[in-house]
Structure 1
């Protein structure tokens, strides 16, 4: 089973994924992490990014993240172009991962699960939510970002209400002990196993 795990920036998806990874029958696939790795290792992605965004997109053979972020978070057309280059390679990588891990349930963590139609890969979907103010504070603390930058990134993602309508489960991630209980409840329900 592939369980999609999504939520806006700062909602706490990675915390939820980490808690799910404690179960023996679950393995995590973090789309963002794998995309970052592939952007530095895939020749196909590198060549297309250089063609689209110039040589400056790589420095010392590593992706120049600030340079690229500055372009795509200020231009929706460029963001869509970036996604159209990276996502097909990530999908192939995910597919290979699913084939190699048929003995486990996969929690597929993806911030833009609906936006890039990755929900079509999933048997069930969990959306993680938190109040916008909390999310912004978390990201500022985590990434040392500015309020304005975080707000811009939030505005580039779907609203929680839209994600919730298409999800099987919702985790309101404010209090860690409540989140843990909800994860156990969902896990038990999905696997019919009591731990």
Structure 2
């Protein structure tokens, strides 16, 4: 069963993803894969260096993310050039991981911008980790040291809470304790594995 997992910034999606992995789900995290495909020694990193020059490497030969970020976030054409290198490599890894999964496996795609991408219908189920906007902002202030202005801008840059809830087949509300969250994830996991079998 293929499941899309999403949630707004500071909703606790990463924690839910980790709990699902503990429960045996195969979690496919596009952000992690995007890092993996440009590790030192990979064809992905070679292609990035060909396109952007050796100044995007650290002294150790790894990708210097801040240096590359400074280039691509200032120039949309350069950002698209980077995406044209990285996205197909990430997609290949996703296909490999999905093909390695067994028919009984729960395959969870951790996708922060699932509501924005329009890809929700491609999954058997969509799990949305939900918190009120004010909770998101408070968490970013407390846990990430952001200013209120920055935190609110990050929330505005994503789909609205209503847009995310509109694509949900299962909602995990995350305003309580970690134990409450774990209990709710267990319920959703049981429902998903029940639907799969």
TM-score category of the 2 structures, normalised to the smaller one: 0.7 to 0.9
2:189 counterpart residue number: 187
* Residues in 2 aligned to 1:62 and 1:10: alpha-carbon distance in whole angstroms: 28
- Structure 1: give runs of 5+ residues left out of the alignment: none
After superposition, residues 7-156 of structure 1 pair within 5 angstroms as 7-24=7-24, 26-41=25-40, 42-44=42-44, 46-48=46-48, 51=51, 53-60=52-59, 61-70=61-70, 79=79, 81-102=81-102, 103-119=104-120, 121-139=122-140, 142-143=143-144, 145=146, 147-156=148-157
1:158 counterpart residue number: 159
Answer with 1 or 2: which has the greater Rg: 2
SS at match of 2:44: helix
Question: TM (normalized to structure 1)?
Answer: 0.78
* Residues in 1 aligned to 2:118 and 2:160: alpha-carbon distance in whole angstroms: 15
Question: TM (normalized to structure 2)?
Answer: 0.77
After superposition, residues 165-184 of structure 1 pair within 5 angstroms as 165-175=166-176, 176-184=178-186
CA 109–192 in structure 1, closer or farther in 2 if over 3 Å, else same: same
Q: Deviations over 1:22-75 (max 9, x none)?
A: 324x22222211211213254235524752x55433323222222344455566
Following TM superposition, by how much is the alpha carbon of 1:188 offset from its aligned partner in structure 2, in angstroms? 1.6
RMSD: 3.0
Work out the number of aligned pairs and report it: 191
- Structure 2: give runs of 5+ residues left out of the alignment: none
SS at match of 1:170: strand
* Residues in 2 aligned to 1:7 and 1:88: alpha-carbon distance in whole angstroms: 24
